[in-house]
Structure 1
Amino acid sequence: MASSTPTRAAPPARILVVDDDADMLRLLSLRLNAAGHDVVAVGSAEAALAQLDTARPQLVLSDVRLPGRDGLALFDEVRARHPSLPVILLTAHGTIPDAVEATSRGVFTYLTKPYDGKELLEKIAQALALSAPAVAHPHANDDWRAEIVSRSHRMTDLLSEAYMVAQSDASVLLRGDSGSGKELLSRAIHRASPRAARPFVAVNCGAIPEALLESELFGHVKGAFTDAVSNHKGLFQAADGGTLLLDEIGDMPPALQVKLLRVLQERAVRPVGASQATPIDVRIISATHRDLEAAMANAQFREDLYYRLNVVSLVLPTLAERREDIALLANHFLDRLSRKYDKRLSGFAPEALKALTTAAWPGNVRQLYNVVEQVCALSTTPLVPLTLVQRALRTPSTQVLSFAEARQRFEREYLVGLLKMTDGNVADAARLAQRNRTEFYRLLQKHALTPGQFKQDAGDTDDVVDERHE
C-alpha cells in the first residue's frame, strides 16, 4: 500500500483532568487542548465525581495527592461506577509505591513527576484506544465491509483500495499472514462488486488432496475415474457469474497450476473425462501467506500464473500492525460469543484490555478470537479479569512473581522515577531516597541504569512539565 497516505488526526476525546495545583492544571489543559482533546479540568476528587455524574469522559487523568479524597480513592470510585473507564495517575516520588500497587488493581498506568510530555500523550492515546466505542461500520454505505471490524488507518487505507478494486473485474492477490483476514476481505470485495448478487465460492488449495483437487475445481463426468458415478460440477462452474476465492494458492501442486492457467486464459473449464470445455465467467481472487516470489525462484510456482493472478495485490497487516483495532475486535467478539454461551458479559477490565493490546499475536485475528472465546467460556464475572486473559494468552500472572522478583521490579521502577524527577542528578536522587551516594550508585549499577539518560537537553525542556509541589 502507498506509504504517502497522510496520517489522519484522531477524533477529539473528552479527558477529565484532576489536580489541586492551579498552575499544573493550566499546563496540562494547555498541552491536551493543543493535542486536540476536549479537557474538563477540576481541582478535587469531589469535583471530578460530580463531572462523572453529568458528562462521562473517555479518560481520567489525576494527581495522586489531592485534598480530601486522594487520587487512589478517586480511582476506586471511578472503577466502581464505570469499570471500563481508564484512569492514569500522576505521582511524585513519595507516592510511587501507592501508584505501583494501584496498577495491580486496575489503573491503566502511572507517570512519575516531572513527566515527559510526549510520553504522557502516548499513554493517553493508548488508553483512549481501549475505551473508544465499538463501531464496526459507521456509514450505511459500508454494508459491504460490515464483517470487518476496524478503525485503524492501515485498514482504512486497505479497504479504500479494496473498494476501488471491487468495481473492476481484475484478478486480485491477497497477501498476509495466516489469520489476518484474507477470506473476510475477499468476501467484502465480492459484496462491493457488480457480481454481489451471484455466488461467492471459496476453496482452500492446500486442504484438498492433489488427487481430488482437479475434480473439485473443474468437475468431472460420469465414468471419468473409479468413483465417478455421476456428473459433477466443479467450483468454477458453481461460481459462474460470481467470485471464486483460491485460498492458499501457493500450495497448489505444479501440475494443477498448468491447468488453472489454461482455464484463466481460455475462460472455460473442461471437466475431468470430458471432451469439450464449458465457458465460464468468474472473477478470481487468490490468497496466500507464502512468499510467491521465492516460490517462483525455486521453481515451485509458475511465473506466468503468478502474473495472471497478481493483477492487483493487496497486503493485509498483521494484528500487531493494527493494535488500535485489538480492543475493538475483542469487544466485538465478546459481544458475539457472550450470546453463544448465554452469559451476561459487559466487557474487559482495563488491565485485561491492556494485556490484549500488548500481546504478540502470532496467530493474528484468528488467535484473538480464540482467546476471547476461552475467556468468555470461563468468565464468572460481568467484567473479564486480567487473570483470565493471561491464562488464555499463556502468559505468567503477576500473582506468581516471587518476593525477590517483585522487589527487584519495584526497586527499578522506584529508581527510574527518582532519576526522572531529579533530571538525572544522583546527589538529589540519593538525598530523596535517604541513601548515601555510594550506595545509590551501587543500586543504579545493579539495575543497569545510567543517570545521563535521564538528563534533559535544553531543546527538550518544552516536553517536560515540572512538579512544583508534593
Structure 2
Amino acid sequence: MSAQLLLVDDDADLLKLLAMRLGAAGYQVATAANAEQALAQIAVKRPQLVLSDVRLPGRDGLALFDAIRERHPALPVILLTAHGTIPDAVEATARGVYTYLTKPFDGKALLDTIARALSLPASDAAAPSQQPAGWRAAIISRSNVMSELLAEARLVAATEASVLIRGESGSGKELLAQAIHKASPRAGRPFVAVNCGAIPEPLLESELFGHVKGAFTGALAHHRGLFQAADGGSLFLDEIGDMPPALQVKLLRVLQERRVRPVGATSALPVDVRILSATHRDLDVALAEGQFREDLYYRLNVVSLQLPTLAERREDIPLLAQHFLGRLALKYGKPLNGFAPDALKALSLASWPGNVRQLHNVVEQVSALATTPLIPLSLVQRALRLPSMQVLPYAEARRRFEHEYLVGLLKLTDGNVADAARLAERNRTEFYRLLQKHGLTPDLFRGEAPVAE
C-alpha cells in the first residue's frame, strides 16, 4: 500500500502542483491550507509524513511541527522554505524537524528526501537528534548531501575496491573511512590510520613497512609496520597527496604484489589489506605537475567520494553543535543544555573555513568559558572572533546615523548652515529642522569669532 502524505501550504497553485507530482509518484496525498486544517486531518487519519511550508497564515510551520511532535513524536516532518526563512528552518532542524528543502527545489530531490524520511525506523523519526546506530554512528547528519554520500559509501563498503576520499581539512575524512570499514566484511579486523604528511620522510617508510633489527642506526629490535598491523583489515592513508615520490614507488609495489618488505629485510611478507586513502590536495594538479604517480593514483582511486564542506551542509550545524556540547558538558562537568537562539543562528550562518573540526573547537571554547546552562551569543562571537555587534531597532539606527552625519557636516563647514545644507542637497529650512530635531547648534562648530576693529 502506498504511503499517505499530508501537504500543507497556503499557495493553492503550488499545493495542487505538488499533489499532482507526488500522486504521479505513487503516493496518496491529502492537502491543507493552514496548520489548523492540517492538525484536524491528522487527528482523523494520521499520515506517514507531513510536508509543510514554513510561512503559513496564523500558526506557522514551526508551530505546526511543535504541535505534531507533541501529539505524534514519530511522525517525520519536512519543511519547505524560501531563502529568507532559511534561519527559521535551520532552527527547526535543531528542534527535530527531519530536514528542510529550499524553494525552488528539484523534483527528484523532493522525491528522494521523502523516500529517505519514510524509510527511517520509527525510533529515528521520533528522535532524529540522537546518534545514529551502527556503521555510521560517529557521523552526525541529516542533510541531503550527506545522506547521498553515505548511501554511496555503504554500497562501496561491501566491495574490496580501494576508496579515495576527497575533502577539505577538518571535514571528517577519517570518520568516513572508519564508517566504510565498519560497514565492510572486514569490520571485525583492525582499522589502522596514518597521516602521511605528519611523519618525517625518513621514518614514514619504517612506519608503513616495518624494519628489522639493525636495519639502520637506532633500529634496536624488529618493528612491525602498519601494513602488518592492519593485516586482514583496512589501512587508512590520510593526506596521501603529501607522500614523497620515492615512497610512492614502494607503496605501488606493495599494492601490486600484496607483499611488504620491511626495511633491511631480505624477503617480503604477504599482507591482506584494503586501502582507504584521503587528501585535501587536488591530485589532478599534482599529477600534471609530476608530484604524484599516475599509476598509483589509479590504484588508489578506484572509487572516489567527495566530502562536502560544513558550509555545504548547514542544516547539520545545530545537530553537530548540540552533539559536541553534550560530550563537552561531561568533560568539563558543567550543566550545559543548549544554545540561545541568536547564538545558534550565529553558528549556523558562520563561514566555517575549518569545517567540522573548527566547529568542535568553537563549541569546546564556549563550553570551557560558559557560566550558564544556555550558551549566549557573546561567547559564540568571541569563539568565532566576530565583533560583538549591537543590533539596534531601525528607528534608533537611523537617528544615530543622522546625528553623526549632521555633526560631520557642521565640522566640515565650520558651522556654516548654508554650506552644510548645500552639501547635503537639502534646502536651509529643512536642514534647520534636522538640526533642531537632533539638538545641534551651528554656533558650537564655528571657530573663534574675529576680533572687532
Identify whether the pair has TM-score above 0.5, normalized to the shorter chain.
Answer: yes
User: Residues 361-410 of structure 1: CA distance to partner in whole angstroms, max 9, x if unpaired?
Assistant: 00000000000000011111111000100000000112499x99944899
In 1, Cα distance between equivalents of 2:66 and 2:355: 33
Q: Secondary structure at the match of 1:314?
A: strand
In 1, Cα distance between equivalents of 2:8 and 2:315: 15
1:64 maps to: none
Q: Secondary structure at the match of 1:232?
A: coil
Amino acid at match of 2:143: S
2:441 maps to: none
1:235 maps to: 226
Correspondence list, 1:287-302, <5 A:
287-302=278-293
Which has more radius of gyration?
2
Q: Secondary structure at the match of 2:318?
A: helix
User: Residues 22-42 of structure 1: CA distance to partner in whole angstroms, max 9, x if unpaired?
Assistant: xxxx97659999962599986
2:314 maps to: 323
In 1, Cα distance between equivalents of 2:285 and 2:213: 40
Q: Are residue 125 (structure 1) and residue 141 (structure 2) matched?
A: no
Q: Are residue 157 (structure 1) and residue 125 (structure 2) matched?
A: no
Amino acid at match of 2:128: V
Deviation at 1:346, TM superposition (A): 1.4
Q: Do the aligned partners of residues 214 and 122 (structure 1) sit closer, same or farther apart at CA in structure 2, a change above 3 Å counting? A: closer
In 2, Cα distance between equivalents of 1:408 and 1:172: 60
Deviation at 1:121, TM superposition (A): 5.3
Q: Do the aligned partners of residues 170 and 409 (structure 1) sit closer, same or farther apart at CA in structure 2, a change above 3 Å counting? A: farther
In 2, Cα distance between equivalents of 1:257 and 1:153: 36
Gaps (5+ residues) in structure 2? 10-31, 40-49, 70-80, 98-126, 403-425, 431-453
The size of the alignment, in residue pairs, is 330
User: Residues 219-266 of structure 1: CA distance to partner in whole angstroms, max 9, x if unpaired?
Assistant: 001111111111111000000000000000000000000000000000
In 1, Cα distance between equivalents of 2:377 and 2:68: 21
Correspondence list, 1:300-339, <5 A:
300-339=291-330
1:214 maps to: 205
More RCO (CA 8 Å, sep 6+): 1
Deviation at 1:129, TM superposition (A): 2.7
Contact 2:208 2:226 in 1 (8 A): yes
Of 254, 260, 269, the match for 1:269? 260
In 1, Cα distance between equivalents of 2:331 and 2:7: 35
User: Residues 191-215 of structure 1: CA distance to partner in whole angstroms, max 9, x if unpaired?
Assistant: 0000001000000000000000000
Q: Do the aligned partners of residues 290 and 346 (structure 1) sit closer, same or farther apart at CA in structure 2, a change above 3 Å counting? A: same
Of 351, 370, 376, the match for 1:379? 370
Gaps (5+ residues) in structure 1? 1-9, 15-25, 60-116, 412-434, 440-470
Q: Secondary structure at the match of 1:313?
A: strand
Contact 1:136 1:148 in 2 (8 A): no
Amino acid at match of 1:36: S
Contact 1:13 1:58 in 2 (8 A): no
Structure 1 runs of 4+ aligned residues shifted over 6 Å read 10-14, 30-34, 38-43, 408-411
In 1, Cα distance between equivalents of 2:398 and 2:332: 41
Contact 2:131 2:138 in 1 (8 A): no
Q: Are residue 341 (structure 1) and residue 332 (structure 2) matched?
A: yes
Q: Do the aligned partners of residues 229 and 37 (structure 1) sit closer, same or farther apart at CA in structure 2, a change above 3 Å counting? A: same
Q: Secondary structure at the match of 1:202?
A: strand
In 2, Cα distance between equivalents of 1:298 and 1:39: 52
In 2, Cα distance between equivalents of 1:240 and 1:11: 52
1:36 maps to: 52
Correspondence list, 1:8-407, <5 A:
29=35, 36=52, 56-57=66-67, 118=82, 122=86, 124-132=88-96, 135=128, 142-399=133-390, 406-407=397-398
In 1, Cα distance between equivalents of 2:378 and 2:174: 32
Contact 1:137 1:145 in 2 (8 A): no
In 2, Cα distance between equivalents of 1:189 and 1:41: 46
In 2, Cα distance between equivalents of 1:327 and 1:13: 25
In 2, Cα distance between equivalents of 1:294 and 1:405: 53
Deviation at 1:345, TM superposition (A): 1.0
Q: Do the aligned partners of residues 350 and 229 (structure 1) sit closer, same or farther apart at CA in structure 2, a change above 3 Å counting? A: same
Amino acid at match of 1:253: P
Q: Do the aligned partners of residues 315 and 241 (structure 1) sit closer, same or farther apart at CA in structure 2, a change above 3 Å counting? A: same
In 1, Cα distance between equivalents of 2:148 and 2:339: 28
What percentage of residue pairs aligned between the two structures are identical? 65
In 2, Cα distance between equivalents of 1:55 and 1:30: 12
Contact 2:321 2:360 in 1 (8 A): yes
Q: Do the aligned partners of residues 55 and 321 (structure 1) sit closer, same or farther apart at CA in structure 2, a change above 3 Å counting? A: closer
Contact 1:167 1:194 in 2 (8 A): yes
Contact 2:96 2:129 in 1 (8 A): no
Amino acid at match of 1:377: A
Q: Secondary structure at the match of 1:36?
A: strand
In 1, Cα distance between equivalents of 2:260 and 2:88: 57
